Structure 1
């Protein structure tokens, strides 16, 4: 174990190519994270190529985890007998926070519009849906861990998870594994097998071993089962580790075992190293001097500015504190023998008495937890001065981890036409040029929709409904129903026109739900309104059941019509001569706006409502009649007319998500936010014509002038 030192920190700070692992973790948590992962490719490759030499099979992980739990249980039992178990509980909970708060998040981008019809993707998404508690707000495994941190009253920087990087009570090593796992999650096509392997390893290990001692002392009031990634999230469901094993088998059958084994081995090595460091830290923290040394070192820089007149043991306190930034032990020895401290008697010491009282010169300088640390140290000091002179705290200090970045990848080329854009945007990870193309495409379409946005029966009301959107939703459903019955006698399209219209909708329908792709991000998928959006996306892809997968159902209908299209993510699909260019305009919009779940959150909520409501009670029923007339399957329209219903289905969820979003806004902000929602609603079918396009160009010009 290394002594207290900050020399390596300073060296890292002076290196412009170095980046703290905390920063990597925080940025990789962001739903719109883009360029950072590219810069880390060489670091990831180096990590995955490390030769560990340890056991790499599932049984070895389970055995190791069981042994570690016994090891930590014994350590906590020793601390209990020494009266310091609460210290270990707090430190263990914080050490586990970066990994446990994002449990399962590395699966967040594994499903993408281009692979939404594939069996492996659906297995991944089913596993991930359990991790985020699909269908329920604040039900993710990370949310359960936040509840634990709040219960222990240590959740100072715990929400969102990216804020954990601000918590200096957590060592860098605790960010290492989740930072790399999350970074790989932003490049799912490059690390698909490795992600499946590391996920399986973590599920085989089960609940993080340091939490064994925490659970034993806080068994109630916390959903502990949710903190074990090997367990199911529903009482009658298969265990998550069994699902992960099945996922591994399915992937290996398609692509081989090498990448999975590489990810599994890396995760196991990282987990073992982290666990050993946490154990050393907790063991060291049993000594009150360890936390006191940490406290002095963490506060020495700011404190040195205020103590240039006070002497301790014949030396300016300022000088002691400057030295304590790299080595706090000499100062602690001097402080222990000063008149500020009564060894063994914190209640009689000036440092924890008169100096920090309401009239003291250090009032409120130390929060309660810091005062507890100081008191614990004073009470443990030997009363014999000779024994104090020999005292040294345990010399354990977790290292700071920095990463050297490779040069960022080139921006690349923007898509040359709408079909190239479609293919490029089917993948989550894209070049900066493609990302810029997507943002400009969204902004241009929304600008058209903001132009002359007069209320009509086909748009959202001009002002936010005072009673929420549910009454308006029912009115729209009545309108659809009336239109359906009024058109009962209208002629149905002929067979050729029906087939052509079905074909032209294929680029759109085969990426069903893609406008919500960004809502699969871990911290959004179980939020108050995000859980509605994630469950909608999850439904569109069949909830893990390929027989209910909407793109596959649509493909089956096309085959009945004599059309067998190439795979959606292949360049041949977008280049297929049977499609008209216009058929890609709305799909590219969906694929583009789905990349920006925060930037365009209000607009996505409006678009989602428009999409889920569009056919319910009206055009779906009309379309069913057409398909039925020519003997084609009506399954695709039947399933949408039921799951999109306005009472308990996607339309209702879409309205509720908007009402929740508006409730979070200030009264002053709501009109502008409502206008953004209205523009998003209108963007499903933007206004045509020259005037709207001129209005769009004018609006874009005005926005640039104010930027």
Structure 2
């Protein structure tokens, strides 16, 4: 019979309750080491090491350094107050924009590369805003919709980051991917620029705890639009959409939360002013920089990399190796006097003596066939050639090297603030979770329980290892076939189609007798813990610095579909709530301590949910396994089980929206099930092209154990049969 849709109230959460951040003792010492290593190491850690306690504590300290001085005050009309602040900042910055636009192309390219360090982080604060602890809040869905737009819907070539990268290239300011080892070097990033960039990177690590700040930063950064003005590009998020987000948030938020948004807006505008001021300072430095100082920068940039090959090359009474060891990089505090002395001596050396054809030994060595060919890029080579031309004309001014100290005072201030940041909500406690319910709570709220990351890693790895028992016995599965086979694309598609038809679709026959309502409700309760974390296995894939693989974008598209692409009505967690409420289950949110006391969902189903939460927190470590798990869970969305559940729910008048959604979206013709197989093929094809055929086998085995890990929980009757013949390893019992 037809069932009326169940109405559930919107989740109007605008901030999570303040809670302490738990870390293993000793993590603070590791963070101190990162901070002591300097801004580059702080930037690298926040960007590239998202799976360690060190990074989460580092992010908390960075956010404390930036946010603690902010003044949170009451505000009645948040959109009006923010609009006034943004317009005031835009007006103030008009002269700066005019000065930057008037710079000659070469200098402007230098400035844009500097700005690119921040510009290419755009939206990183939204990477993990959609997560089990925050969904399906209205504001989170609104933000996630913007995230989908910024990510180009999962197509890297349509993303805002790619478009901005192209605009930088067109302006002569090309930069590599932000995760590239030489990104900061290519940008010639000043320490202050790097530190300012660490604020959005830190926000990207802890977005659930700083949801009001995410809203404020997101709105102010895009509404101010410094990068769109500098590059002449259209706003990636239409202003009207930004204003709608802010208005919706203001209508739901408490005075305290609105005050936090306003403080974040003020901070963002202040930081943007600081960086634009740095660019103006850098512009003035470039305008007044002597040619000799430019040459000194080039020499100091390469001197540390010169190596022992210069051991036989002398200048005066010393080898170049000895000379270069004396001053290092000017950008890193090299002695400008030593560099000036070197240039004066080099100017008089035989290497620069003009030859009859106007050339010299040094320039000849930098050209094709020369011993230094390829050392200097086009810009550097031009600087050196221009200087040598003046030398050949007889110009021998007194050489004074003026080091680039742009932003150093600002960098010193922020470095000290981060070094001294000691938030009082940080707790050092390594006590393990008491049971599965507490572990579930911690994993959902992992931002506050980083000390549990190792527990998650160990648990996930143990399950993947145990699941390999199905490599031999998996063909007997009722809904899956995890038996191992050698990979090629055709074999994978053939196996997936066979499972789809023979195990999921063809066995279906309508139930002749529908169980009573109590039995239906109990069976639903065995699924619903995992329904409440639907899509979580993918929520950390495809973050900033992890988008270069085709498979990353494809996985993001699946996760976006699970979350309704920002439309809360289509969000699968909203559908879950609808279905549960129609069954008389209106449970607290899974992020709350109250949920740990619920008695509606059985304890013996926690293992399945815990495995999904454990692996999803470590998408770098378990990327392959997530691909295989994704195939298994998306295929299970189709066929007999779903059709039977729909029949039972309809018979008793319960809302079947969740089952219906998966029956349609997970099909194997073009839906998520087929896409999941395509993703594996795309990933392994990349492995083959990059590392050769031999590397594919090892990568594939890990992918397939991810598939087996899903079957490991689903095929319990089969595992009991296997255990009867071969006693189950104790570790298997621990995982279950």
- Residue 211 of structure 2: aligned partner: 192
CA contact (8 A) 2:481 2:499 kept: no
Moved more, 561-570 or 467-476: 467-476
Query: Quick check: 1:199–1:244 contact (8 Å CA) kept in 2?
Result: no
Q: Which residue of 1 aligns with 2:16?
A: none
Deviations 1:276-320 (A, max 9, x none): 2222223332444443221123234455973787446x9987776
Distance 1:489 1:42, change over 3 A: closer
Cα offsets for 1:389-445 (capped at 9, x unmatched):
377668654436645276895253221101111111112414343111111211222
Distance 1:120 1:308 in 2: 65
Tell me which residue corresponds to 1:671.
697
Deviation at 1:579, TM superposition (A): 2.5
The equivalent of 2:12 in structure 1 is none
Partner residue of 1:61? 86
How far the C-alpha of 1:338 sits from its partner, in A, is 5.5
2:439 maps to: 421
The within-5 A match list for 1:385-404 is 385=395, 388-389=397-398, 396-399=405-408, 402=415, 403-404=418-419
5 Å-filtered alignment, 1:67-82, equals: 68=93, 71-79=96-104
Q: Which segment is superposed worse, 530-539 or 150-159?
A: 150-159
CA distance in 2, matches of 1:126, 1:260: 19
Matches within 5 A, 1:530-679: 530-665=552-687, 666-679=692-705
Q: TM-score, normalised by structure 1?
A: 0.82
Paired position in structure 2 for 1:478: 501
For the pair 1:296 / 2:299, whether they are aligned, the reply is yes
Does structure 1 retain, via aligned residues, the 8 Å contact 2:100–2:108? no
Structure 1 position 680 matched with structure 2 position 706: yes
Aligned match of 2:223:
204
Relative distance call for 1:383 and 1:56 in structure 2 (3 A) is farther
Could you tell me which of 455, 461, 468 is aligned with 1:437?
455
Deviations, residues 475-509 of structure 1 (Å, cap 9, x unaligned): 33322565454x33542222110011222322211
Q: 1:18 aligns with which of 33, 36, 40?
A: 36
| Map of 2:5 onto structure 1 | none
Structure 1 stretch 173-182 or stretch 509-518: which is displaced more? 173-182
Which stretch shows the higher mean deviation, 416-425 or 548-557?
Answer: 548-557
Q: Are 1:356 and 2:366 an aligned pair?
A: yes
Contact 1:127 1:244 in 2 (8 A): no
Deviations 1:551-575 (A, max 9, x none): 2222222222222212222122232
Distance, in Å, in 2 between the alignment partners of 1:563 and 1:156 is: 52
The question of 1:32 aligning with 2:51 is answered yes
**Match in the other structure for 1:11:** none
In 2: Cα distance, 1:95 partner to 1:21 partner: 15
Instruction: Give the superposition deviation at 1:626.
Output: 0.8
Spell out, residue by residue over 1:370-391, the C-alpha distance to the aligned partner (whole angstroms, 9 max, x if none). Answer: 21221233446795657x2377
Q: Is the 8 A contact 2:114 2:187 kept in 1?
A: no
- Give 1:52 shift: 10
Separation of aligned partners in 1, 2:590 and 2:406: 52
Corresponding residue SS for 2:158 = coil
Find the counterpart in structure 1 of residue 331 from structure 2: none
The alpha-carbon deviation at position 669 of structure 1 amounts to 2.5
User: In the alignment, which residue of structure 2 is the partner of 1:704?
Assistant: none
The structure-2 alpha-carbon separation of the partners of 1:315 and 1:266, relative to structure 1 and needing over 3 Å to count, comes to same
Superposition pairs for residues 216-235 of structure 1, below 5 Å?
224-225=233-234, 228-229=235-236, 231-232=237-238
Q: Does residue 173 of structure 1 match 2:192?
A: yes
Q: Distance in 1 between matches of 2:726 and 2:293?
A: 67
Q: 1:98 to 1:369 in 2, by over 3 A?
A: same
Deviates more, 1:100-109 or 1:188-197: 188-197
**SS of match in other structure, 2:161:** helix
SS of aligned partner of 1:685: helix
Give me the whole-angstrom Cα distance separating, in 2, the residues matched to 1:431 and 1:540: 26
Instruction: Compute the displacement of 1:541 (Å).
Output: 2.2
SS at match of 2:490: coil
Q: Who is 1:514 aligned against?
A: 536
Aligned twin of 1:10: none
C-alpha change, 1:118 and 1:618, in structure 2 (3 Å) is same
The aligned residue for residue 329 of structure 1 is 340
- Describe how 1:358-377 pairs up with structure 2 within 5 A: 362-377=372-387
Would the alpha carbon gap of residues 601 and 405 (structure 1) be closer, same or farther in structure 2, given more than 3 Å must change? farther
Aligned to 1:6: none
| SS at 1:684 equivalent | helix
> 2:278 maps to which residue?
277
For the Cα contact (< 8 Å) 1:356–1:362, is it kept in 2? yes
Separation in 1, partners of 2:550, 2:725: 35
1:115-194 residue pairs with structure 2 within 5 A? 115-148=134-167, 157-158=176-177, 160=179, 164-165=183-184, 167=186, 169-194=188-213
Cα distance in 2 for residues equivalent to 1:419 and 1:113:
15
Given the two structures, how large is their TM-score scaled by the length of structure 2? 0.79
Shift of 1:659: 0.8
Instruction: Give, in angstroms, the shift of residue 518 of structure 1.
Output: 1.8
Structure 2 CA distance for aligned equivalents of residues 393 and 210 of structure 1: 31
Gap change, CA 1:385 and 1:320, over 3 Å in 2: farther
CA distance 1:140–1:599, change in 2 (3 Å): same
With over 3 angstroms needed to count, the CA separation of the structure-2 counterparts of 1:320 and 1:250, relative to structure 1, is farther
Give the match's secondary structure for 2:37: strand
Q: Which moved more, 1:184-193 or 1:653-662?
A: 184-193
Matched residue, 1:5: none
1:446 pairs with 2:471: no
CA–CA separation in structure 2 for the residues paired with 1:459 and 1:27: 40
Partner Cα separation in structure 2 for residue 657 and residue 47 of structure 1: 40
Q: Which residue is equivalent to 2:125?
A: 106
Aligned CA RMSD, in angstroms, stands at 3.7
Distance 1:513 1:323, change over 3 A: closer
CA, structure 1 residues 311+517, in 2 after alignment: closer, same or farther (shift >3 Å)?
Answer: closer
Match status 1:95 vs 2:106: no
User: Judging changes above 3 Å, is the alpha-carbon distance between structure 1 residues 348 and 464 closer, same or farther for their aligned structure 2 residues?
Assistant: same
Size of the aligned set, in residue pairs, is: 659
Runs of 5+ consecutive residues of structure 2 not aligned to the other structure? 1-31, 73-79, 329-333
Would the aligned equivalents of 1:284 and 1:290 in 2 still touch at CA under 8 Å?
A: no
Residue 628 of structure 1 deviates from its aligned partner by: 1.2
Deviation at 1:189, TM superposition (A): 3.5
Task: Work out the CA distance in 1 between the residues paired with 2:182 and 2:320.
Answer: 33
Distance in 2 (alpha carbons) for counterparts of 1:255 and 1:644? 42
**Structure 1 pair 249–361 and aligned structure 2 pair: CA distance change class (3 A):** same
1-structure distance, mates of 2:245, 2:292 = 44
